[in-house]
């Protein structure tokens, strides 16, 4: 079931709510430059195991409204809170991939983990996706600037190139086309502005403010959010468990989907 939630005047967020009668709730936040559809291979399985799976398209992406402003971690975290409050969610698992992982970390710090009982991070873009003087492990900033420029000049070609960046395993051409199609409905300016956000923003001080059990899932071949980011998350979050995915890049939710789903369910049930 799909519906819209207003998170500020004139801005509606699209929400897909699968198995509303499920016993345990997971709110999924997708990464750049995708939509809730990226979690298809979770939605094929988890609702049948009794989970209520809620997925939002962040502003600028998928079916959500595409305002000119608001593409930073604070506003994205506030949008997540708007969805949580509108649906009255309590005692649920909050989950995020890539920039969505950064968004849910900022939510936990900015809103004191309101309503969340557990946190799940998938290849999260934290504490910094890019290299800094005190953090030499991220992607060079100039690489992200190149993505921004490609987005503003030939976004379809940029999206095509992400197949090689996101996947470690060989995938079919059809799946590559599907992945490409997920990114197309986004606004070009939203795609560029979020890239600027994950290039320039950081979450070092946010990690220690997370006060719920946290699961970190990360592919060892990730070329976007390097494995060192997962190590930093494990060290910075007080109650965190890190599970490596040996045959995955940035898209572990597809590349090792059976292991991914199993680890997520065991974490929620534990």
What structural domains and CATH numbers belong to the chain? 2-269 (3.40.50.1820)
Digit-coded pLDDT (tens) for 166-183: 999 999 999 999 999 999
- Indicate the pairing of strand 240-245 with strand 11-18: unpaired
Smallest CA-to-CA distance from 38 within 219, 241, 188, 185 is with: 185
What is the DSSP-derived secondary structure letter of residue 57?
A: P
pLDDT of residue 1: 86
Compute the distance between CA of residue 259 and CA of residue 270 in angstroms, rounded to an integer: 16
**Percent of the residues in the chain that have a pLDDT greater than 70, as a whole number:** 100
Q: Which residues does the annotation mark as catalytic?
A: 98, 222, 250
Digit-coded pLDDT (tens) for 147-162: 999 999 999 999 999 9
């Amino acid at each position: 079931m799909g519906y819209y939630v207003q998170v500020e005047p004139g801005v509606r967020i699209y929400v897909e709510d699968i198995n509303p009668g499920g016993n345990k709730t997971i709110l999924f936040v997708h990464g750049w430059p995708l939509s809730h559809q990226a979690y298809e291979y979770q939605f094929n399985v988890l609702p049948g195991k009794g989970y209520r799976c809620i997925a939002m398209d962040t502003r600028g992406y998928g079916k959500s409204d595409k305002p000119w402003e608001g593409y930073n971690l604070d506003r994205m975290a506030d949008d997540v809170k708007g969805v949580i409050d509108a649906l009255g969610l309590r005692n649920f698992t909050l989950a995020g991939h890539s920039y969505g992982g950064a968004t849910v970390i900022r939510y936990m710090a900015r809103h004191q983990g309101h309503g969340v009982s557990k946190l799940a991070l998938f290849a999260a873009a934290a504490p910094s996706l890019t290299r800094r003087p005190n953090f030499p492990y991220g992607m060079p900033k100039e690489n992200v600037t190149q993505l921004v420029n490609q987005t503003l000049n030939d976004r379809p070609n940029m999206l095509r190139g992400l197949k090689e960046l996101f996947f470690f395993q060989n995938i079919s051409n059809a799946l590559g086309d599907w992945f490409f199609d997920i990114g197309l409905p986004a606004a070009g300016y939203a795609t560029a502005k979020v890239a600027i956000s994950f290039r320039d923003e950081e979450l070092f001080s946010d990690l220690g403010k997370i006060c719920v059990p946290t699961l970190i899932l990360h592919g060892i071949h990730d070329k976007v959010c390097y494995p060192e980011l997962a190590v930093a998350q494990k060290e910075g979050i007080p109650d965190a468990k890190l599970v490596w995915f040996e045959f995955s890049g940035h898209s572990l939710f597809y590349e090792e989907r059976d292991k991914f789903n199993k680890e997520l369910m065991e974490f929620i049930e534990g």
